[in-house]
Amino acid sequence: MSAPQILIIVTSADTMTSGKQTGLWLEEFAVPYQIFKQHGAEVTVASPRGGATPVDPRSTPDDAQKKEWQEAEQRLQNTRTLGDVQAADYDAVFLPGGHGTMFDLPENPQLVTLLEAFAVGDKVIAAVCHGPAGLVGVNGKDGRPLVADRRVAVFTDEEERAVELDQDVPFLLETRMRELGAQVEPAPAFQVHALRDGRLVTGQNPPSSARTAELTLEALTAD
């Protein structure tokens, strides 16, 4: 069996409209990246603007993590643009979070086109924490919202209020997912929680990064 081809899409947004710094939550990229590589996957990293990806300063790694995540961090220095990648070249797409995703991924025309091609091709679509913000505006093969009637885990409204950023985001992700018809199944705040509903995989928060990656690999091998 050839190596799985996985596309990871990260944010290019470094500032919230409130002026607070934001970006990618590093753990949500680095941990899945390592897991994918350990399982022999080929990984491509893309973002709306391409180039270097902003990392949320609140997710700065400690010394041990910095050493462990060195390769992953290097891959964030030169991402491809969304216009340079095609669903046909990949088996799965993975969207890490960070509050930056709330500003440049929802209803992004290039991202919508790309993810709808993944859906039409019955390919794995995975996202963790705020990553599911990239699913807003994306329809499935039936023309309905991709998340409609699907079991989904996302960063909850409770968690957003706990980190005191509920007034800084353009919408509350859990609420928006429910409005789109998703069957959101929250776990207690900041506990590991990820779900696989067919070819759709979602995780609730940063601690769920590894489990979301594992379920992504599981979905790749499932019938």
Report pTM: 0.97
CA triple 132-138-140, angle to 5 deg: 110
Q: How confident is the model at residue 1 (pLDDT cuts 50, 70, 90)?
A: low
Question: Does the pLDDT at position 28 exceed 90?
Answer: yes
| Burial readout 172-188 (b: 16 or more C-beta within 10 A, e: otherwise) | bbbebbbebebebebee
Contact between 126 and 210 (Cβ < 8 Å): no
* Cβ proximity of 102 and 169 under 8 Å: yes
Query: Does 69 score more than 80 pLDDT?
Result: yes
Separation between Cα atoms, residue 39 and residue 100, nearest integer Å? 28
Q: What is the pLDDT of residue 222?
A: 86
Q: For residue 76, give the DSSP letter.
A: T
pLDDT recorded at residue 76: 98
Set out the domains of the chain in order of their start, with CATH numbers. 5-221 (3.40.50.880)
Q: Measured between alpha carbons, how far is 11 from 55 in angstroms, rounded to an integer?
A: 9
Q: Count the neighbouring beta carbons within 10 Å of the beta carbon of residue 214.
A: 17
The mean per-residue pLDDT over the stretch 141-153 comes to 97
CB distance 165 to 132 below 8 Å: no
Is 95:74 a contact under the CB 8 Å cutoff? no
* Mean per-residue pLDDT, 106-120: 98
The model's pLDDT over 177-215, given as tens digits with 9 standing for 90+, comes to: 999 999 999 999 999 999 999 999 999 999 999 999 999
Percent above pLDDT 90 for the chain: 98
